[in-house]
Amino acid sequence: MARTEDQAIGDRAAPGAAGPTPYPDVNAAIGDLLAGMRRILGESLRAMYLSGSLAQGDFSPDSSDIDLVVVTDADLPDHAFAALQALHACFNAGDSPWATWVEAAYIPLAALRRYDPAHAHHPHIHGGAGEVLVRDQLASDWVLQRAILRDHGVVVAGPPPANLIDPVSPDDMRRAVAALMHHDWWEGKPVDPAPLRHRDYQAYAVLTMCRILYTLDAGAVVPKPVAARWARIALPKRWDALIVRALAWRKEDQRTPDGDVEETAALIQHVRDRCQRWELAAPPRGRPS
Protein backbone atom coordinates (compact mmCIF):
# COMPACT_ATOMS: atom_id res chain seq x y z
CA MET A 1 0.00 0.00 0.00
CA ALA A 2 1.33 3.47 -0.86
CA ARG A 3 2.56 5.52 2.09
CA THR A 4 0.77 8.77 2.84
CA GLU A 5 2.49 12.15 2.94
CA ASP A 6 2.21 12.14 6.74
CA GLN A 7 3.91 8.72 6.95
CA ALA A 8 6.76 9.78 4.69
CA ILE A 9 7.78 13.04 6.32
CA GLY A 10 10.54 11.38 8.32
CA ASP A 11 12.27 10.41 5.08
CA ARG A 12 12.27 13.83 3.47
CA ALA A 13 15.28 16.03 4.16
CA ALA A 14 15.62 19.75 3.61
CA PRO A 15 16.77 20.61 0.07
CA GLY A 16 20.35 21.43 -0.76
CA ALA A 17 23.29 19.05 -0.90
CA ALA A 18 25.43 21.34 1.25
CA GLY A 19 23.17 20.83 4.25
CA PRO A 20 20.81 23.04 6.25
CA THR A 21 23.46 25.51 7.51
CA PRO A 22 26.43 27.42 6.01
CA TYR A 23 28.82 25.51 8.32
CA PRO A 24 30.21 22.21 6.96
CA ASP A 25 31.19 20.82 10.37
CA VAL A 26 27.75 21.66 11.77
CA ASN A 27 26.11 19.95 8.80
CA ALA A 28 28.31 16.89 9.32
CA ALA A 29 27.31 16.67 12.99
CA ILE A 30 23.62 17.06 12.16
CA GLY A 31 23.87 14.46 9.39
CA ASP A 32 25.56 11.91 11.65
CA LEU A 33 22.96 12.36 14.37
CA LEU A 34 20.05 12.23 11.93
CA ALA A 35 21.37 9.01 10.40
CA GLY A 36 21.65 7.44 13.84
CA MET A 37 18.17 8.60 14.84
CA ARG A 38 16.69 7.14 11.67
CA ARG A 39 18.33 3.79 12.36
CA ILE A 40 16.85 3.75 15.84
CA LEU A 41 13.44 5.33 15.29
CA GLY A 42 12.56 4.29 11.74
CA GLU A 43 9.19 5.61 10.64
CA SER A 44 8.40 6.94 14.11
CA LEU A 45 10.82 9.81 13.34
CA ARG A 46 8.56 12.51 11.94
CA ALA A 47 10.81 15.57 11.74
CA MET A 48 14.05 17.21 12.81
CA TYR A 49 14.43 20.97 13.14
CA LEU A 50 17.19 23.38 14.06
CA SER A 51 16.14 25.88 16.70
CA GLY A 52 17.99 28.39 18.86
CA SER A 53 20.67 30.56 17.33
CA LEU A 54 20.85 28.56 14.09
CA ALA A 55 17.18 29.33 13.53
CA GLN A 56 17.26 32.96 14.63
CA GLY A 57 20.34 33.95 12.65
CA ASP A 58 22.69 34.83 15.53
CA PHE A 59 24.77 31.64 15.48
CA SER A 60 28.49 31.98 16.24
CA PRO A 61 30.83 28.96 16.08
CA ASP A 62 32.80 30.50 18.95
CA SER A 63 29.93 30.79 21.41
CA SER A 64 26.84 28.90 20.20
CA ASP A 65 25.67 25.33 20.40
CA ILE A 66 23.48 23.25 18.07
CA ASP A 67 19.83 23.12 19.18
CA LEU A 68 17.81 20.24 17.76
CA VAL A 69 14.13 19.42 18.11
CA VAL A 70 13.28 15.88 17.04
CA VAL A 71 9.61 15.07 16.49
CA THR A 72 8.35 11.52 16.99
CA ASP A 73 4.97 9.97 16.37
CA ALA A 74 4.50 9.08 20.05
CA ASP A 75 6.36 8.83 23.35
CA LEU A 76 9.56 6.83 23.01
CA PRO A 77 9.56 3.24 24.23
CA ASP A 78 12.32 2.24 26.65
CA HIS A 79 14.41 0.40 24.07
CA ALA A 80 14.46 3.41 21.72
CA PHE A 81 15.30 5.77 24.59
CA ALA A 82 18.23 3.56 25.62
CA ALA A 83 19.51 3.40 22.05
CA LEU A 84 19.31 7.19 21.72
CA GLN A 85 21.16 7.58 25.02
CA ALA A 86 23.95 5.47 23.54
CA LEU A 87 23.88 7.50 20.30
CA HIS A 88 24.39 10.79 22.15
CA ALA A 89 27.05 9.31 24.42
CA CYS A 90 28.96 8.08 21.39
CA PHE A 91 28.66 11.45 19.67
CA ASN A 92 29.82 13.31 22.77
CA ALA A 93 32.84 11.03 23.07
CA GLY A 94 33.71 11.38 19.36
CA ASP A 95 35.97 13.72 17.46
CA SER A 96 33.35 16.14 16.12
CA PRO A 97 34.14 19.76 17.05
CA TRP A 98 30.52 19.86 18.20
CA ALA A 99 30.83 16.95 20.63
CA THR A 100 29.24 18.14 23.92
CA TRP A 101 27.83 21.21 22.12
CA VAL A 102 24.54 19.68 20.94
CA GLU A 103 21.26 20.16 22.78
CA ALA A 104 18.37 17.98 21.66
CA ALA A 105 14.76 17.40 22.72
CA TYR A 106 12.53 14.55 21.54
CA ILE A 107 8.89 15.59 21.47
CA PRO A 108 5.89 13.62 20.17
CA LEU A 109 3.61 15.24 17.63
CA ALA A 110 0.70 15.72 20.05
CA ALA A 111 2.88 17.45 22.65
CA LEU A 112 4.55 19.73 20.12
CA ARG A 113 1.24 21.33 19.12
CA ARG A 114 1.05 23.42 22.32
CA TYR A 115 2.89 23.46 25.63
CA ASP A 116 1.07 21.61 28.39
CA PRO A 117 3.04 21.34 31.66
CA ALA A 118 1.04 18.23 32.56
CA HIS A 119 2.43 16.49 29.43
CA ALA A 120 5.92 17.95 29.13
CA HIS A 121 8.05 15.05 30.40
CA HIS A 122 10.23 14.22 27.40
CA PRO A 123 13.78 13.06 26.59
CA HIS A 124 16.33 15.83 26.21
CA ILE A 125 20.04 16.42 26.54
CA HIS A 126 21.84 19.63 27.45
CA GLY A 127 25.15 20.64 25.98
CA GLY A 128 28.22 20.06 28.12
CA ALA A 129 30.75 17.43 29.07
CA GLY A 130 29.19 14.61 31.03
CA GLU A 131 25.62 15.38 29.96
CA VAL A 132 23.40 12.43 29.06
CA LEU A 133 19.97 12.03 27.50
CA VAL A 134 17.37 12.00 30.28
CA ARG A 135 13.61 11.96 30.58
CA ASP A 136 12.73 15.14 32.42
CA GLN A 137 10.21 17.96 32.60
CA LEU A 138 10.66 20.62 29.93
CA ALA A 139 10.40 24.01 31.61
CA SER A 140 8.02 26.80 30.66
CA ASP A 141 10.63 28.30 28.34
CA TRP A 142 9.41 25.70 25.85
CA VAL A 143 6.54 28.07 25.18
CA LEU A 144 9.22 30.41 23.80
CA GLN A 145 11.14 27.61 22.10
CA ARG A 146 7.96 26.58 20.29
CA ALA A 147 7.40 30.16 19.14
CA ILE A 148 10.97 30.33 17.80
CA LEU A 149 10.60 26.95 16.17
CA ARG A 150 7.26 27.80 14.58
CA ASP A 151 8.42 31.07 13.06
CA HIS A 152 12.10 30.45 12.39
CA GLY A 153 12.87 26.73 12.71
CA VAL A 154 15.18 25.31 10.02
CA VAL A 155 13.89 22.08 8.48
CA VAL A 156 16.38 19.23 8.46
CA ALA A 157 13.68 16.61 7.84
CA GLY A 158 9.91 16.80 7.83
CA PRO A 159 7.27 19.44 7.05
CA PRO A 160 7.44 23.17 7.88
CA PRO A 161 7.23 23.48 11.67
CA ALA A 162 4.28 25.89 11.45
CA ASN A 163 2.26 22.88 10.25
CA LEU A 164 2.78 21.18 13.61
CA ILE A 165 2.74 24.06 16.13
CA ASP A 166 -0.07 26.42 17.10
CA PRO A 167 0.60 30.19 17.29
CA VAL A 168 1.79 31.50 20.66
CA SER A 169 0.14 34.64 22.05
CA PRO A 170 2.16 37.56 23.47
CA ASP A 171 0.71 37.08 26.96
CA ASP A 172 1.49 33.36 26.90
CA MET A 173 5.09 34.31 26.16
CA ARG A 174 5.06 36.71 29.11
CA ARG A 175 3.57 34.04 31.37
CA ALA A 176 6.25 31.62 30.26
CA VAL A 177 9.17 33.88 31.14
CA ALA A 178 7.58 34.87 34.45
CA ALA A 179 7.12 31.19 35.30
CA LEU A 180 10.71 30.51 34.28
CA MET A 181 11.88 32.71 37.13
CA HIS A 182 10.33 30.18 39.55
CA HIS A 183 12.66 27.49 38.22
CA ASP A 184 15.34 26.14 40.54
CA TRP A 185 18.01 27.87 38.44
CA TRP A 186 16.77 31.34 39.39
CA GLU A 187 14.50 30.80 42.41
CA GLY A 188 16.98 30.95 45.30
CA LYS A 189 16.82 33.91 47.67
CA PRO A 190 19.50 35.16 47.65
CA VAL A 191 20.63 33.97 44.24
CA ASP A 192 23.12 31.09 44.54
CA PRO A 193 26.46 32.52 43.35
CA ALA A 194 28.18 29.15 42.83
CA PRO A 195 26.97 28.43 39.25
CA LEU A 196 27.74 32.01 38.26
CA ARG A 197 31.44 31.45 38.88
CA HIS A 198 31.46 29.31 35.72
CA ARG A 199 32.04 31.82 32.94
CA ASP A 200 29.83 30.12 30.34
CA TYR A 201 26.89 29.90 32.73
CA GLN A 202 27.40 33.44 34.00
CA ALA A 203 27.32 34.88 30.45
CA TYR A 204 24.32 32.67 29.63
CA ALA A 205 22.50 33.97 32.71
CA VAL A 206 23.04 37.62 31.78
CA LEU A 207 21.80 37.17 28.20
CA THR A 208 18.86 35.07 29.38
CA MET A 209 17.82 37.81 31.79
CA CYS A 210 17.97 40.34 28.95
CA ARG A 211 15.72 38.16 26.81
CA ILE A 212 13.25 37.58 29.65
CA LEU A 213 12.93 41.32 30.19
CA TYR A 214 12.48 41.93 26.47
CA THR A 215 9.72 39.31 26.26
CA LEU A 216 8.04 40.71 29.36
CA ASP A 217 8.07 44.16 27.75
CA ALA A 218 7.25 43.30 24.12
CA GLY A 219 5.43 39.96 24.28
CA ALA A 220 7.82 38.57 21.70
CA VAL A 221 11.02 36.56 21.58
CA VAL A 222 14.16 37.77 19.82
CA PRO A 223 17.75 36.48 19.63
CA LYS A 224 19.75 37.05 22.79
CA PRO A 225 22.10 39.62 21.17
CA VAL A 226 19.09 41.68 20.08
CA ALA A 227 17.60 41.51 23.56
CA ALA A 228 20.97 42.42 25.06
CA ARG A 229 21.29 45.53 22.89
CA TRP A 230 17.77 46.52 23.90
CA ALA A 231 18.58 45.92 27.58
CA ARG A 232 21.64 48.18 27.42
CA ILE A 233 19.21 51.02 26.71
CA ALA A 234 16.31 49.88 28.90
CA LEU A 235 18.21 48.87 32.05
CA PRO A 236 20.13 51.01 34.55
CA LYS A 237 23.68 51.75 33.43
CA ARG A 238 25.15 49.65 36.28
CA TRP A 239 24.64 46.55 34.10
CA ASP A 240 25.87 47.95 30.79
CA ALA A 241 29.46 46.68 31.02
CA LEU A 242 28.22 43.33 32.35
CA ILE A 243 26.03 42.87 29.27
CA VAL A 244 28.86 43.88 26.94
CA ARG A 245 31.12 41.24 28.50
CA ALA A 246 28.40 38.59 28.22
CA LEU A 247 28.00 39.37 24.52
CA ALA A 248 31.75 39.01 24.07
CA TRP A 249 31.96 35.58 25.75
CA ARG A 250 33.60 32.80 23.73
CA LYS A 251 34.03 29.10 24.50
CA GLU A 252 37.72 29.44 25.34
CA ASP A 253 36.93 32.21 27.85
CA GLN A 254 36.85 30.51 31.27
CA ARG A 255 37.58 33.37 33.68
CA THR A 256 34.67 35.21 35.25
CA PRO A 257 35.68 38.87 35.69
CA ASP A 258 35.81 40.24 39.24
CA GLY A 259 32.44 41.59 40.31
CA ASP A 260 30.43 39.87 37.59
CA VAL A 261 29.08 37.20 39.95
CA GLU A 262 27.59 39.76 42.30
CA GLU A 263 26.28 41.99 39.51
CA THR A 264 24.72 39.01 37.71
CA ALA A 265 23.00 37.91 40.93
CA ALA A 266 21.65 41.45 41.31
CA LEU A 267 20.38 41.41 37.72
CA ILE A 268 18.63 38.07 38.29
CA GLN A 269 16.95 39.50 41.38
CA HIS A 270 15.86 42.57 39.39
CA VAL A 271 14.31 40.37 36.69
CA ARG A 272 12.62 38.18 39.29
CA ASP A 273 11.04 41.26 40.89
CA ARG A 274 9.84 42.52 37.51
CA CYS A 275 8.29 39.15 36.70
CA GLN A 276 6.54 38.98 40.07
CA ARG A 277 5.01 42.41 39.49
CA TRP A 278 3.80 41.33 36.06
CA GLU A 279 2.25 38.14 37.46
CA LEU A 280 0.29 40.15 40.02
CA ALA A 281 -1.19 42.31 37.26
CA ALA A 282 -1.44 39.64 34.54
CA PRO A 283 -4.63 39.31 32.50
CA PRO A 284 -6.67 36.10 32.81
CA ARG A 285 -5.25 33.14 30.93
CA GLY A 286 -6.86 32.25 27.62
CA ARG A 287 -6.47 29.03 25.71
CA PRO A 288 -3.15 27.29 26.57
CA SER A 289 -0.32 27.59 24.06
Q: What is the pLDDT of residues 109-148, one digit of tens each?
A: 999 999 888 889 999 999 988 999 999 998 888 899 999 9
DSSP codes joined into one string, 196-243 = GGSHHHHHHHHHHHHHHHHHHHHSS---HHHHHHHHHHHS-GGGHHHH
Residues 32, 34, 38, 40, Cα dihedral to 10°: 70
Is the bond preceding 190 in cis, omega lying within 30 degrees of 0? Answer: yes
Contact 44, 7 (CB under 8 A): no
Give CA–CA dist 287/289, Å, rounded. Answer: 7
Give the largest Cα separation in the chain, rounded: 67
Tens of pLDDT, residues 1-37? 333 333 333 333 343 446 899 999 999 999 999 999 9
Please tell me the CATH code under which domain 5-166 is placed. Answer: 3.30.460.10
Judged against a pLDDT cut of 60, whether residue 219 lies above it is answered with: yes
Q: What are phi and psi of 79, to 5 degrees?
A: -70, -35
**What percent of the chain has a predicted confidence (pLDDT) above 70?**
91
H-type alpha helices, the chain: 5-8, 24-41, 52-56, 78-92, 109-112, 142-152, 170-180, 184-187, 199-218, 224-234, 240-247, 260-281
Give CA–CA dist 11/174, Å, rounded. Answer: 36
Give CA–CA dist 93/99, Å, rounded. Answer: 7
pTM for the complete prediction?
0.81
Give CA–CA dist 216/212, Å, rounded. Answer: 6
Give CA–CA dist 215/173, Å, rounded. Answer: 7
Residues 6 or more apart from 229 whose CB is under 8 A from it? none
Give CA–CA dist 137/134, Å, rounded. Answer: 10
Tens of pLDDT, residues 163-174? 999 999 999 999
Confidence bin at 184 (pLDDT 50/70/90) = low
Helix 199-218 to helix 170-180 angle, to the nearest 10 degrees?
140
Query: Minimal CA–CA distance to 48: which of 29, 24, 22, 23?
Result: 29
Domain residues of the chain, as ranges? 5-166, 171-281
Judged against a pLDDT cut of 60, whether residue 71 lies above it is answered with: yes
Residues 6 or more apart from 287 whose CB is under 8 A from it? none
